[in-house]
Amino acid sequence: MKILFLNKFNDRWKERYYALKKEFPHMNFVATFDPAQRPIELKDADAVITGRLLENEIENSPNLKVIFVPFTGLNTFPTELIKSKGITVSNTHANAPYVAEHAVALALGLLGRTPEFHNDLKKGIWHRSIEDEDMWTSIQGKTIGIIGYGNIGSYIAKFLKPLGCYVIGFKNNIPVEKPEYVDELSSNLEYTIGKSHIVFVTLPLSRSTKNLLSSDILASMKGKYLVNVGRGETVKEEGLYNALKDGILAGAALDVWYNYPGKNPEPIFPAHLPIYDLPNVLLSPHKSSHTIEGVNAMIDDTYENVRSYILNGKPDNAVEMN
């Protein structure tokens, strides 16, 4: 069996790669980050570790049985083609507590107005009055809506419960037993948002989640706060811009966006509309899992998924390709 690593290696990856070679000497492990070698090595690969595969690459990989994604999102993969070919996909949610930590930090910064106060004080401007325009907003005792109550959402709830927050989790499929830390589960999006003071979005991007928070829903969120650490396009860009510009949304903290730089060295703005220029927005460049602990956890979890596949014929964390 040939297991191909196409992801870029750091020291942790090198350590895990050589550990696999030592533990399973009968397996053919290959690693390359050379674009020219990529199609050649894929032709006879049984398993691949990568953050991206194109349709033609999958079509030209007749032996491919499993794809290991060393992070959570699958929006860089042709999922319908993968499903039609019966290829197993394994990803990792090991970064969930760190994404949740960053989400809570963004919420606290947004409601606490800390970036604004910091930047103004550097100019000698003091927000010291107790007038409305100088007040910040406490998160304590607020009702929190978490759209996409999964791994990340459960950690957000865990971190906020000590602050006396009431947590409503939105899920399409409600489990029989209510999870720890959540006060209420709902499959009704409008109900969840309507009841919440602060709405966290942790959704992956798919056909069913794209623009799930529509312009109409955003226009109904008077006085509420939005924190998105899932994927940018789960929230309608035009609706978000208008709701913020018109003062409907009290504010938004965004770690995920509508426009990304790729390999372009030039400055790239993160949205097609100037959301980033609005005063009630807190910006973050898709960094919620970029901690040493988070990155190492994803590497280690992917390593364990590969080991499980070799030992048991299936990875620990196989994605349901609906």
On whether residue 321 sits in a domain, the answer given is no
CATH number of the structural domain spanning residue 154: 3.40.50.720
138 lies in the same domain as 210: yes
In angstroms, the CA 120 to CA 12 distance is: 41
Share of the chain above pLDDT 90, in %: 92
Count of the separate structural domains present in the chain: 2
Q: Over range 70-77, report the average pLDDT.
A: 89
Is the pLDDT at 322 greater than 70? The verdict is: no
Which structural domain range is residue 240 located in? 96-283
Residue type, 266: E
277 lies in the same domain as 162: yes
126 lies in the same domain as 81: no
67 lies in the same domain as 180: no
What pLDDT, in 10s, does the model give residues 12-56? 999 999 999 999 999 999 999 999 999 999 999 999 999 999 999
On whether residue 117 sits in a domain, the answer given is yes
Angle value at C-alpha 291, between 170 and 144, nearest 5 degrees: 25
245 lies in the same domain as 306: no
DSSP 189-210: HHHHHHH-SEEEE-PPP-TTTT
56 lies in the same domain as 144: no
On whether residue 317 sits in a domain, the answer given is no
Q: Which of 33, 70, 18 lies closest to 41 in space, CA to CA?
A: 33
Q: Side by side, which strands form the sheet with 66-68?
A: 28-31, 2-5, 47-49, 66-68, 88-90
135 lies in the same domain as 230: yes
Residue type, 226: L
What pLDDT, in 10s, does the model give residues 274-287? 999 999 999 999 99
Q: Please state the three-class secondary structure of 252-293 as a single string.
A: EEECCCCCCCCCCCCCCCCCCCCHHHCCCEEECCCCCCCCHH
273 lies in the same domain as 308: no
- In the chain, DSSP finds a helix count (H) and a strand count (E) of 11, 12
40 lies in the same domain as 100: no
155 lies in the same domain as 267: yes
> pTM of the entire structure?
0.93
DSSP 127-153: ----SGGG-----TT-EEEEES-SHHH
- Burial code (b: 16+ CB inside 10 Å, e: under 16) for 227-240 equals bbbbbbbbbbbebb
